[in-house]
Amino acid sequence: MVNPTQLAPIAPGERIATLDVLRGFALGGILLMNMESFVGPVLGASTGVDPQLTGANRIADGLIYFFVQGKFFTLFSLLFGMGFAMMVQRAAAAGRPFAGLYWRRSLALLGIGLVHALLVWSGDVLVTYALLSIPLLAFRDVPTRWLAWLGVAFYLAAPAMLLGLGFLSLWVPGWDQIMARGGQEVAGLLEDQRQAYGSGSYADAVVQRVRDFGVVLSNLMVIGAMVFGMFLIGAAFLRSGAIQRPGLHPRLYQWLRWGVLPAGLLVMLASLLIQPSMAFTVFDLRTGLAQSLALVAGALMCLGYLAWVMRALEQPVWHHWLGWLAPAGRMALTNYLVQSVVCTLVFYGYGLGFFEHLPRFWQIPFALGLFAVQVLYSQWWLERFRFGPAEWLWRSLTYMRLQPMRLQAT
């Protein structure tokens, strides 16, 4: 018998189905974004549109950069903040303690993220989420309006830092030489990734992942500001009731669809026109401006995407088809990890060895095909089990007891 004073995982019937659909939608976009980092060096995916590509490959690279990269990562961060707010609301409504459980949840996610980052794929985002989820606890009692504005402020700190670095290039003596030396180090790291992941053994890849992990932590100030800002905006979004009762917020969604999304597209277009490709050895005002605009566009476009998915869910036909994404969203952690395992085994040297052999154009159907399999498998799995395997592990560690897995046990 469950103690009524203890928190327990959300039962399937208590879930907000819209959140699961949105998670599934974001998960598909994240795979499209990450494909370039699976097929080639992880650092190679952070340089904008590859100027060496031509024809269909260049078009595919440009479309992914414009519409996907930086948009679904922020959307998933937004959804993480919504999940946090929902947990706080459930705990408050039941009059149950929350902080201790939340600490265990964050530490469990950190452990899963470290295993993923060091043993599977160095493009991991779970460690960042876990680390930033801990200070999020301090904001649980902040009024909703303030939470939203604080989120905007945190997020804008990231593009402000990049723009500030761009202005430093005008004033710091020897800036070009400094950036050239730094760029050479990054280029060397990229070549090390190419060797370790493309033709090295599994042990070589693990050693390289440890090195890559240090780079990830060094970038946490910029990435962390973005992620934490989206956490807060997502928490404010759910607290407002806009996800649970979208029909009560028509003006908000109209503004997001017809104002925010077009603004994001224009800002992204400006970034692309200013500088479509980034070089490791150069960071000047033009680069800083282009990158900062791309970050702003990422937030605006992800909010617009969310609003259009919410609008589609109001239409019976689209509601039916988008509903297929919900099981994948319920198993988002498992599916995210499986994407890394499958893709590294296909592309890395210790697997099938197709590293840098899949053209950019064909990465899109590969990602869509893999995600389609995950959607179908998630449906099959959740007809039999309460959680995905990774979700079961995460919940068992969080609640410090093995959770019932089969549906018959509920």
Summarised one tens digit per residue, pLDDT across range 35-77 is 999 999 999 888 899 999 999 999 999 999 999 999 999 999 9
The whole-angstrom distance between residue 339's C-alpha and the CA centroid of its chain comes to 13
Gap between the Cα atoms of 315 and 323, Å rounded = 12
Kindly report, residue by residue over 84-117, the tens digit of the pLDDT.
999 888 888 877 778 888 999 999 999 999 999 9
User: Which residues share a beta bridge with 138?
Assistant: none
Contact between 110 and 131 (Cβ < 8 Å)? yes
In Å, how far are 310, 313, 320 from 316, measured between CA atoms? 12, 7, 6
Q: How far apart are CA 218 and CA 216, in angstroms?
A: 5
Q: Does residue 2 lie in a domain region?
A: no
- Residue in the block written with tokens 């948009």: 71
Single-letter amino acid code for the residue at 384: R
- Whether 3 is in a domain gets the answer no
Q: Is residue 1 part of a domain?
A: no
Looking at the domain assignment, is residue 18 inside a domain? yes
Residue 369 domain-assigned? yes
The predicted structure's pLDDT at residue 15: 61
Q: How many domains does the chain have?
A: 1
Please report the pLDDT score of residue 183 as a whole number. Answer: 86
Whether 289 maps to a domain, the answer reads yes
Residue 186 is part of which domain span? 12-409
Task: Flag whether 6 is in a domain.
Answer: no
Q: In the chain, pLDDT over 90 holds for what percent of residues?
A: 83
The predicted-structure confidence for 353-397, as pLDDT tens digits, reads as follows 999 999 999 999 999 999 999 999 999 999 999 999 999 999 999
